[in-house]
Amino acid sequence: MTAAAERMRAMRDRKRSRGLREVRITVPDSRSTSVRQRVATEVAGLDQRSEDDALRWIEAVSEFDAPGFQGNDEAR
């Protein structure tokens, strides 16, 4: 095993011993013209009324600073 591979293995082992694990996520490259065109096509096909309903719901449930909201004190 190369030195770099050994260092990575040691780092992963240290993290695992602390209860952590590595997760890799692959996402579309937004710098790519073809990806940008594909996203634009998808967005153009969205139903505006449905999207408006979704945004209203998101706004309604994201108002955690409303008077009387207790929240989770442990997260602060």
Position 43 in a domain: yes
Three-state DSSP class for 47? Answer: coil
Q: Which of 11, 28, 29 is nearest to 20 (CA)?
A: 11
Give me the pLDDT at residue 21, please: 87
pLDDT tens digits for 5-26? Answer: 999 999 999 999 999 988 999 9
| pLDDT one-digit tens code per residue, 22-65 | 899 999 999 999 999 999 999 999 999 999 999 999 988 887 66
Residue 76 has pLDDT above 50, yes or no: no
Within a domain: 72: no
User: What is the b/e burial string over 26-50, where b = at least 16 CB atoms within 10 angstroms of the residue's CB?
Assistant: eeeeeeeeeeeeeeeeeeeeeeeee
Statement: residue 67 has pLDDT above 90: no
Domain count, the chain: 1
Range(s) of the domain holding residue 46: 29-62
